[in-house]
Every structure is written in C-alpha cells, then in structure tokens.
Amino acid sequence: MVRQICCQTALMGEPSVIFFDDDEIFADALTLYFTDYESGSCFVAEYENRVVGYLLGSNNMKRMDQMTVKKIVLPLLIKALRRGTLLHKKNMAFLFHIFLSLVKGEFKAPIFLIDYPATLHINIIQEYRALGVGSKLIRAYLDYLKEEGAKGVHFATMSEKACPFFKKNSFQLLFQGHRSYFRYFLGKDILLSIYGMRIPSG
Ligand SMILES: CC(C)(COP(=O)(O)OP(=O)(O)OC[C@H]1O[C@@H](n2cnc3c(N)ncnc32)[C@H](O)[C@@H]1OP(=O)(O)O)[C@@H](O)C(=O)NCCC(=O)NCCS
C-alpha cells in the first residue's frame, strides 16, 4: 500500500503516471531504501485497517545515500532494463529532462547533513488530506528522532501546496531553488523548497 500511495501522490500529490510509465520501478526508486533497509524509521497512518498515508524516514541521510548507491542503484537499473522501462517514450522524455537539469547545475543546493542528518518523505492519499493525519505522522516521527538522538531533520519538497503544512508543523525554510525538468509538460519551472528542523536533545 505504501508503494501504491507513493505512485498515486508522486507529482505534488498527483500520480506518477503523468510523467513516468512503470509504477514498479518508480515505487522501488522512491521507497525501497526506507521499507527494506530502514523500516524502523517509517510510520504509516491507518483508517479502518487501510493504510491512508505514510512517512518514510531515515535518521541518517548520509548512510541512506551510501546504502542506496551500494545496494539499490545497480539492481534497479538492471530491473528497469529487463522490463524495458527505459524504452518507454514518456520515461525517456522524463529522464532526458532530468539529465538536462543536472547539466544546467540545477541540482546544486547547500548541504544540510551536518546540522540536520535525518530526512523524511510524507504523503497522504487525497480523500484523507487536511484531516490532521500528516501532522500526527510528523509528531510521531519527531518523537522517534528525539529518542534516537538525531539532532535535526531536513527534506526537499516540490509541492508549493504543502509548504503551509510544513510551516504549521514548525519546519523552517532552509533553501529554495527552481527546477526546469517538468517544464516540458507543466509549461513552467517548479520551486523546490528544503525545510528543516533542529531537534533539541532529550
Ligand atoms: C502535505 C500533506 C502531507 C499534509 O498532510 P495532511 O494530513 O493533509 O495535513 P494536516 O491535516 O495534518 O494539516 C493541515 C494542513 O495541511 C495543508 N493542507 C491541507 N490540504 C492540503 C493538500 N491537499 N495538499 C497539501 N497541503 C494541504 C494546509 O496547510 C493545512 O493547514 P490548515 O488546516 O491550517 O489549512 C498531505 O496533504 C499530502 O500528502 N499532500 C499531497 C502530497 C504532498 O504534497 N506531499 C508532500 C511532499 S514532501
């Protein structure tokens, strides 16, 4: 269900199929590290035995990046090649525009790992948004991080709609930058915002 929600909410709350054909590969890329290598930092919200939202976290983003490179990238690439994912026109267009953004230097951003070593990724399915579910997940995760002794958390969001939610939950805006990789079908750049919060030691 977490993988399904990830695909349903990928593009600022809208489904990934708009820009990427292959939910299996897309869900692997966004959730595999969290579910398979750090599930202790993940939280789900349930309503009547149905998962309606999740917060996937890592209390150490540096370790997360290292594990991703070591364990996930190559098998995922092989899987995508076997499935023919990279040959879909839609996927080629998406990857080409990501590559262009990379070449233009749009991915450059300050490094916040030292003061904010943890990270998170949160999504709630449409029918259950604005009911307090996201705030509860954030509170549960912050309590967990405090117990773990993490000194801060930061994450990036492309969703301008979600910014008031993060501010309301006491995150501070650390950085903003434009990204052009969705311009080919949105007709405009997106604003990427990095939010963070320091966690006082218990
Ligand atoms: C952003 C999100 C996680 C917030 O969780 P939530 O359970 O909807 O939020 P809560 O009910 O706890 O908090 C309500 C606040 O969220 C914001 N919010 C409400 N509906 C929203 C929506 N559809 N999309 C984004 N933010 C919304 C508002 O700021 C609201 O504050 P208000 O009640 O004072 O107006 C959730 O709406 C969501 O998953 N949205 C779509 C995907 C997304 O943007 N994810 C974030 C990517 S990092």
User: CATH code at 113?
Assistant: 3.40.630.30
Structural domains counted in the chain: 1
Residue 161, φ and ψ in degrees, nearest 5:
-65, -30
- For residue 50, give its domain range: 2-198
Nearest CA to ligand 1 atom 5: 134
pTM, 2 dp: 0.93
Long-range contacts of 187-193 (CB under 8 A, 24+ apart): 190/12, 190/158, 191/158, 191/160, 192/109, 192/156, 192/157, 192/158, 193/156, 193/157, 193/158, 193/160, 193/163
Nearest CA to ligand 1 atom 28: 165
Question: What was the pLDDT predicted at 202?
Answer: 67
User: Residue 165 CB: number of other CB atoms within 10 A?
Assistant: 19
Ligand 1: distance of its center to the CA of 79 in Å? 34
Characterize the bridge pairing of strands 50-58 and 42-47. Answer: antiparallel
**pLDDT tens-digit map of 141-178:** 999 999 999 999 999 999 999 999 999 999 999 999 99
